[in-house]
């Protein structure tokens, strides 16, 4: 990043990008399934279902023919369980905190954009990234979730970077993130340590691929 250039913004997906949330999600999924007599899902299955928000996750793990009322009951149980256990096993991926601090020190503005419910995004940002991440946007009323670009645009606006869109990077780990970046016209740095494999990501032709968090810093600095 050149000091004479306009300010750079780096917007991150949360689950599978900054934080490994898989085990807490899986524990709440399987607690719900057991509570209502459904067969539990293994970690690999649940990993493949993550990316569209918790409602989409539960739609994928529950039987397709479940009634709307039964789905609502199970979804509410899941939400309550997950809210109570959201930080039990969730941790930043190795190297993430260091990379964020380096970007911040270099003058980048940092944000989170997630399909996770806003309360959960706020709780995780405050617990793990207090004083590092400037803006955190989750799933909220009146904003279309990813892959619509609305939440990404909102984050850019809250960072005060509407005029600097050519200096924005979006960082994510899934096909949802690639579609979001394309809808917004923002280049994607795809990370290979998350919920999708590197080969799955490369098949979608992201602008950049990061094998480790320090690669994000290098890409942003050299662009």
Asked if residue 179 has pLDDT above 80, the reply is yes
Asked if residue 102 has pLDDT above 60, the reply is yes
Record the pTM.
0.94
Residue 1 pLDDT class (50, 70, 90 cuts): low
Residue 7 pLDDT class (50, 70, 90 cuts): confident
CATH number of 22-84: 1.10.150
**Cα separation values, 25 from 31, 32, 64, 193, 209, Å:** 10, 11, 20, 17, 26
Exposed/middle/buried for 200, CB within 10 Å: 0-12, 13-18, 19+? middle
- Out of 2, 13, 69, 162, the active site residue is 13
What are the boundaries of each domain within the chain?
9-20+91-222, 22-84
Mean pLDDT of the 9-20 span: 98
Residue 223's pLDDT is 78
pLDDT tens, position by position, 105-125: 999 999 999 999 999 999 999
Asked if residue 6 has pLDDT above 70, the reply is no
Residue 51 pLDDT class (50, 70, 90 cuts): confident
Same fold, 9-20+91-222 and 22-84: no
- Under a CB-based contact definition with an 8 Å cutoff, are residues 114 and 15 in contact? yes
Please state which of the four CATH numbers 2.60.40.10, 1.20.1420.20, 3.40.50.1820, 3.40.50.1000 is assigned to the domain occupying 9-20+91-222: 3.40.50.1000
- Under a CB-based contact definition with an 8 Å cutoff, are residues 133 and 112 in contact? yes
- Under a CB-based contact definition with an 8 Å cutoff, are residues 191 and 71 in contact? no
Quickly count: other Cβ atoms within 10 Å of residue 197's Cβ: 10
Active site residue 13: yes
């Amino acid at each position: 990043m050149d000091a004479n250039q306009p300010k750079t913004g780096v917007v991150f997906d949360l689950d599978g990008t900054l934080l490994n949330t898989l085990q807490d999600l899986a524990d709440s999924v399987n607690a719900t399934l057991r509570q209502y007599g459904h067969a539990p899902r293994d970690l690999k299955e649940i990993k493949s279902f993550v990316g569209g928000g918790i409602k989409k996750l539960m739609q994928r793990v529950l039987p397709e023919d479940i009634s709307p009322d039964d789905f609502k009951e199970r979804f509410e149980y899941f939400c309550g369980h997950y809210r109570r256990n959201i930080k039990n096993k969730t941790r930043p991926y190795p190297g993430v905190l260091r990379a964020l601090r380096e970007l911040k020190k270099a003058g980048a503005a940092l944000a989170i954009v997630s399909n996770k419910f806003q309360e959960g995004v706020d709780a995780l940002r405050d617990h793990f990234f207090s004083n590092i991440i400037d803006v955190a946007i989750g799933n909220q009323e009146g904003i279309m979730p990813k892959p619509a670009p609305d939440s990404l645009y909102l984050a850019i606006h809250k960072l005060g970077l509407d005029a600097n869109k050519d200096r924005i990077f979006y960082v994510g780990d899934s096909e949802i993130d690639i579609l979001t970046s394309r809808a917004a016209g923002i280049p994607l740095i795809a990370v290979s340590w998350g919920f999708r494999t590197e080969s799955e990501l490369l098949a979608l032709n992201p602008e950049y691929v990061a094998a480790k968090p320090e690669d994000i810093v290098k890409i942003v600095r050299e662009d």
